[in-house]
């Protein structure tokens, strides 16, 4: 197949640091090529993903913008769709593109909902017609009130590219954005309650992120709670691989948590709040602990070092590989080419509770 992938225009594929959606698109593109398919990618000019690219879709990146406004994204998708008239399937990862797509005679269009089906985004996805909408977790899918979903595909990871960590650094780690939803303040408080060192890496660029950090997180920093900045891929894996646990006290129903499968791939257990997709990723008592509240999380953090790191990595190999993610996408693409009728398809299956 020839598959067109449309990425949001503001961040390169793959991202130099923080950028979950762009990381997933990069892995999908490379994985599709390894599986024998042709890929045409529309992305920012400074993208390094080694596949053929659509030219003229990179205004936001050239301007150094950290976020593309709706007009820029619309120009991006118009250029992208015009260049993809000959592909078999378009997989659009923008929000504007599937609404712009209005020609039924064109190739089938798939879009992945990377954000929540909330009061802001839910109406957008409900308005889409003739587009196969994918959820990224079963919890997210359960909240898609009125959205016609084509199925669920969990994100994947190139596990062989992730070094196994020893977990012998004597500290817990935190990865994310510096915002209330990701729980950096809660992570600091949990680590202090448990009496263990914590090293925190987080995106800290936007004004709101800086304000939150100054008001809520910086006052909690001390010799045992350290903020190490925003890290690139290799540095991030080194940090989490050296930790005895990833502390992920998320404060919202996150559709998917890439940091959790990245940590597990290094062999590091995950201690998280049991909300959103976390129960689909973490096997409680096997690859981590799921607990509500600060004190239960602190107790779980102290116990995490006893968990089997080999079981953590094995779970990612079995359930969250790029190969599995690619195979499920290809199955959907082929089914849409054979029968574009909107309906729910079984792609990723719900998790089986650990025995």
Domain ranges of the chain: 2-156+321-338, 159-316
What number is the average pLDDT over the span 10-36?
Answer: 92
What number is the average pLDDT over the span 308-324?
Answer: 97
pLDDT tier at 355 (50, 70, 90 boundaries)? Answer: very low
Going through 197-328 in order, the beta strands assigned E by DSSP cover: 198-203, 225-229, 245-248, 270-272, 288-290
* Continuous segment of H or E residues that includes residue 135: strand 131-135
Residue 344 near residue 149 (C-beta atoms within 8 A): yes
With 60 as the cut, is the pLDDT of residue 315 above it?
A: yes
What number is the average pLDDT over the span 252-269?
Answer: 97
Q: List Cα–Cα distances, 192 to 280, 294, 298, 302, in angstroms.
A: 28, 10, 8, 11
pLDDT tier at 61 (50, 70, 90 boundaries)? Answer: very low
What number is the average pLDDT over the span 12-39?
Answer: 93
Number of neighbouring beta carbons within 10 Å of residue 318 = 10
For tokens 């992938």, name the residue.
Answer: 5
Q: Are strands 109-112 and 131-135 parallel, antiparallel or unpaired?
A: parallel
Q: In CATH terms, are 2-156+321-338 and 159-316 the same topology?
A: yes
pLDDT value at residue 98: 87
Residue 19 vs residue 332, higher pLDDT: 332
Q: List Cα–Cα distances, 290 to 28, 210, 239, 275, in angstroms.
A: 29, 29, 22, 9
CA nearest to 186, candidates 170, 206, 202:
202
CA nearest to 315, candidates 345, 347, 285:
285
CA nearest to 111, candidates 156, 157, 77, 71:
77
pLDDT value at residue 60: 43
CA nearest to 131, candidates 342, 345, 332, 333:
342
With 90 as the cut, is the pLDDT of residue 326 above it?
A: yes
Domain 159-316 listed as CATH 3.40.1170.20: no
With 70 as the cut, is the pLDDT of residue 69 above it?
A: no
Weakest mean pLDDT among 73-77, 279-283, 302-306: 73-77
Write down the mean pLDDT value for the chain: 91
Residue 332 near residue 88 (C-beta atoms within 8 A): no
CATH superfamily, domain 2-156+321-338, is: Glycogen Phosphorylase B; (3.40.50.2000)
With 60 as the cut, is the pLDDT of residue 197 above it?
A: yes
Strand partners, 111: 92, 133
Residue 183 Cα to chain centre, angstroms: 16
pLDDT value at residue 103: 61
* pTM attached to this predicted model: 0.91
With 90 as the cut, is the pLDDT of residue 72 above it?
A: no
Residues 6+ apart with CB under 8 A from 352: none
Weakest mean pLDDT among 93-97, 133-137, 196-200: 93-97
Question: What CA dihedral angle connects 226, 191, 232 and 250, to 10 degrees?
Answer: -130
Provide the phi-psi class of 307: left if phi over 0, else alpha when psi is between -120 and 50, else beta: beta
Instruction: Give the pair of three-digit tokens for residue 58.
Output: 């990179």
With 80 as the cut, is the pLDDT of residue 152 above it?
A: yes
pLDDT tier at 58 (50, 70, 90 boundaries)? Answer: low
Residue 45 near residue 33 (C-beta atoms within 8 A): no
Angle at CA 346, nearest 5°, toward 345 and 350?
A: 140
pLDDT tier at 342 (50, 70, 90 boundaries)? Answer: low
For tokens 């969250």, name the residue.
Answer: 320
What number is the average pLDDT over the span 55-81?
Answer: 65
With 70 as the cut, is the pLDDT of residue 151 above it?
A: yes
pLDDT tier at 102 (50, 70, 90 boundaries)? Answer: low
pLDDT value at residue 99: 85
């Amino acid at each position: 197949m020839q598959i067109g992938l449309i990425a949001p225009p503001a961040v390169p594929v793959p991202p130099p640091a923080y950028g979950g959606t762009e990381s997933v698109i990069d892995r999908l593109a490379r994985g599709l090529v390894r599986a024998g398919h042709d890929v045409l990618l529309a992305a920012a000019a400074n993208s390094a993903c080694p596949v053929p690219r659509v030219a003229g879709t990179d205004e936001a990146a050239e301007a150094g913008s950290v976020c593309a406004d709706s007009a820029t994204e619309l120009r991006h998708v118009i250029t992208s769709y015009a260049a993809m008239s000959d592909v078999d399937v378009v997989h659009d990862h923008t929000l504007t593109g599937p609404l712009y797509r209005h020609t039924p005679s064109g190739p089938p269009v798939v879009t992945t909902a990377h954000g929540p089906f909330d009061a802001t985004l839910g109406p957008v996805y409900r308005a889409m017609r003739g587009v196969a909408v994918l959820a990224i977790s079963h919890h997210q899918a359960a909240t898609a009130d009125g959205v016609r979903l084509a199925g669920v595909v969990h994100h994947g990871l190139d596990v062989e590219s992730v070094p196994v960590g020893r977990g012998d650094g004597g500290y817990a780690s935190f990865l994310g954005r510096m915002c209330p939803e990701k729980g950096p303040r809660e992570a600091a408080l949990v680590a202090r309650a448990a009496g263990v060192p914590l090293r925190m890496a987080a995106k800290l660029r936007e004004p709101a992120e800086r304000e939150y950090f100054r008001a809520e997180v910086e006052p909690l920093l001390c010799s045992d709670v350290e903020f190490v900045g925003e890290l690139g891929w290799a540095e991030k894996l080194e940090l989490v691989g050296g930790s005895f646990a990833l502390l992920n006290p998320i404060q919202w129903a996150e559709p998917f948590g890439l940091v959790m499968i990245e940590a597990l791939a290094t062999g590091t257990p995950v201690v998280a709040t049991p909300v959103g997709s976390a129960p689909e990723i973490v096997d409680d008592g096997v690859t981590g602990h799921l607990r509500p509240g600060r004190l239960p999380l602190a107790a779980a953090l102290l116990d995490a070092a006893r968990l089997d790191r080999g079981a953590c990595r094995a779970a990612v190999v079995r359930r969250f590989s790029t190969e599995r993610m690619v195979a499920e996408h290809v199955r959907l693409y082929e089914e849409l080419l054979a029968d574009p009728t909107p309906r729910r398809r079984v792609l990723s299956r719900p998790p089986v509770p650990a025995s």
